[in-house]
Structure 1
Amino acid sequence: MSSTEQAVARRLLDSAAQLSYDPLVEVDWDTPVDPDHFGMSPEWSTLYGTAYWAEMSPAQQRELTRHESASVASTGIWFEMILQQMLLRDIYRTPPAEADFQWALTEIADECRHSIMFARTCAKLGTPPYRPTRTVLELGRAFKTLAYGESAYASILVAEEVLDVMQRDWMRDERVAPFIRTVNNIHVVEESRHMKFARDEARERLQTASPSRRRASAFVVAAASYFIVTSMVSDQVYANVGLDARRAIREARANEHHKALMRSSCAGLMDFLGSVGLLTRPAIRIYQRANLI
């Protein structure tokens, strides 16, 4: 690894030493959830802005956002487990004295804490377990085994950036349950280091990539992004809060407000992917289907 990359890893290690959290201590896990609080900023609900949302009572709206928040947290656990395995595989032969080896283990430790934090969030919200579909789970199994280099790091970046934008809104919103705001704040602060590392790694790996490899990586990253983003809110949340699931799914998928929110929140991410050559025409079509561009 280059001296520049080693210097970045050392700075990230210093940052982690100065500003990291223990969610078991920092988060109020004991106070019961106030039913008057949302689980996320309501504007981020998949049904916000639809006719169905307008028909729901305020209590139903709040309950839906709590289930949606739990679904997002569950998806976060799923992808963090994939991320940890990819990082371990990537550093398997790296000399342990190097800063990037130690940073990778630090990031894995962060992700372990985040996954436990998200798991406890779901438990406190009292929701059923939400997982991606069986097909997506099996695709994830293949992805964690086969993805490497820029494909792995750029996919990590997409998952982290999309969640980061959402959580920055939720952590500042006093309508959101206080413990969820704390969870989001912890994740945003610590993931900022992870995103810096993922950007630098993706950029570095692509410097020597051939045109054919770049095109292949662009497709893999876009496909991974599609399945990550479309799995964030499970279709099961609607029935679990007493809604007509078919109607809710139909209106959520046609929700122009939510699509516009996703596109605007991903503008910076798409600029980065374009700057490193990962926005090929096939990739753009996939991002458009996922409402990321």
Structure 2
Amino acid sequence: MTPAPSSTAARESDEKVADRRAYRSVIERLSKASVDKHWEPYRDIPWDDPEFLVDQTDPRWELPDVDKLGGHPWYRSRPPETRARIGLWRVATAMKIGLQFENLLKRGLLNYAYRLPNGSPEFRYVYHETIEEGHHGMMFQEFVNRTKLPVRGMPGPLSLIAQVAPWIPLISTELFFVFVLGGEDPIDHVQRKVLKDDREHHPLEETIMRIHIAEEARHISFARHYLRNRVPRMPRHRRLMLGVASPVVLGVMARIMLAPPGPMIRRFRIPPSVVAEVYLRNRAAKQEIRDSVARTRELCVDIGLINPLTRRIWRVMGIWSDPRPARSPGP
């Protein structure tokens, strides 16, 4: 007679089924949200409204507090129109890099979806996300076009290397979604801070950021739930490799998204000493990079990707921060 399964084994099996159902429910809710609330860039943004026109000398383009160059004496000593053009260049470059990243992301998502089985809830959601990212790309490029600035986005060599990203899902879907978070979390972090800084923003920039934040919240949620569902079930050796690769990907991506563009530095002749002081030796700038990946770092802790070895890699990449101690309950 076959022995009955132990109560522990039965309970674990029930928990796995419940977890899978909960995960599927989340993906279905995200898909429904993409239907219920989404934006069309050429329908929902009044590009030709006089208030939305882009003037390179508009003082609302001046650098926000989140960019440490904005408070430096060198920047403050520039004429107002130069400060505005530097700020606009920064915004336009961020959008150009954003649309290039989302181009890689869309191709990777489609490679991932290509192999999904019939009935997979991820398939529908991935296509919703791909469509939304397509809209973001059009929105960002339209903004860049209207600035009339010769921004390029990623440096050429980096752009060439980045072409491997869409093929990551064929090797490891888990690593691909770490890459997704590496690109989306830093920009989301910066855009949320900019909108909370109590400054007057150009209505075109603010509209684009609000649309992007709203839809990226779903994309980030999907990547996080996907990793929470998959990583704990990975074989130990694959989980270790993912744990080693993740901080490298996240550290590189955060710097790509937040670093000052070289063409801007050359165009406005920003002294190397100022660049070093503001971005390379500035503790606040380094903390900003760590903060930009905070949510992904906490996720990696939760799903078991942090151990003494991988923690050292996080530190080498400059993106580790010890978890804050929990507050003791009051009396």
Q: Distance in 2 between matches of 1:104 and 1:164?
A: 19
Matched with 1:10 is 28
Q: Of 277, 285, 289, which aligns to 2:315?
A: 285
Distance 1:40 1:52, change over 3 A: closer
Q: Following superposition of structure 1 onto structure 2, how do residues 179-198 of structure 1 map, counting pairs within 5 Å?
A: 179-198=204-223
- Structure 1 residue 42, shift from structure 2 partner: 1.4
Matched with 1:267 is 294
Q: Distance in 2 between matches of 1:40 and 1:57?
A: 11
- Structure 1 residue 207, shift from structure 2 partner: 1.5
Distance 1:212 1:96, change over 3 A: closer
Q: Following superposition of structure 1 onto structure 2, how do residues 92-171 of structure 1 map, counting pairs within 5 Å?
A: 92-147=114-169, 148-171=172-195
What TM-score, normalized to structure 2?
0.79
Distance 1:213 1:255, change over 3 A: same
CA contact (8 A) 1:41 1:170 kept: no
- Between the two structures, name the one with larger relative contact order (CA 8 Å, sep ≥ 6): 1
Deviations 1:150-201 (A, max 9, x none): 1111221122111111112334554321100000000000011111100011
Matched with 1:246 is 272
SS in 2 for 1:44: coil
Q: Distance in 1 between matches of 2:35 and 2:242?
A: 33
Distance 1:255 1:48, change over 3 A: farther
SS in 1 for 2:65: helix
Q: Distance in 1 between matches of 2:189 and 2:85?
A: 22
Q: Determine what percentage of the aligned residue pairs are the same residue.
A: 22
Distance 1:118 1:248, change over 3 A: farther
| Range with greater deviation from structure 2 (275-284 or 151-160) | 275-284
Distance 1:143 1:51, change over 3 A: same
Matched with 2:66 is 44
Q: Distance in 1 between matches of 2:199 and 2:75?
A: 21
Q: Following superposition of structure 1 onto structure 2, how do residues 174-253 of structure 1 map, counting pairs within 5 Å?
A: 174-232=199-257, 233-240=260-267, 242-244=268-270, 246-251=272-277, 252-253=279-280
Q: Distance in 1 between matches of 2:63 and 2:43?
A: 25
- Structure 1 residue 47, shift from structure 2 partner: 1.3
Distance 1:274 1:38, change over 3 A: farther
Deviations 1:239-264 (A, max 9, x none): 22x22353443333223332233333
| Range with greater deviation from structure 2 (31-40 or 215-224) | 31-40
Q: Which runs of 5+ in 2 are unaligned?
A: 1-16, 322-331
RMSD: 2.4
Distance 1:216 1:104, change over 3 A: same
- Structure 1 residue 141, shift from structure 2 partner: 1.4
Distance 1:55 1:29, change over 3 A: same
Q: Which runs of 5+ in 1 are unaligned?
A: none
- Structure 1 residue 110, shift from structure 2 partner: 0.4
Q: Distance in 2 between matches of 1:73 and 1:195?
A: 18
Q: Distance in 2 between matches of 1:8 and 1:268?
A: 19
CA contact (8 A) 2:54 2:146 kept: yes
Q: Distance in 2 between matches of 1:138 and 1:282?
A: 29
Matched with 2:9 is none
Matched with 1:33 is 54
Distance 1:243 1:195, change over 3 A: same
Amino acid at match of 2:28: R
What TM-score, normalized to structure 1?
0.88
Distance 1:163 1:104, change over 3 A: same
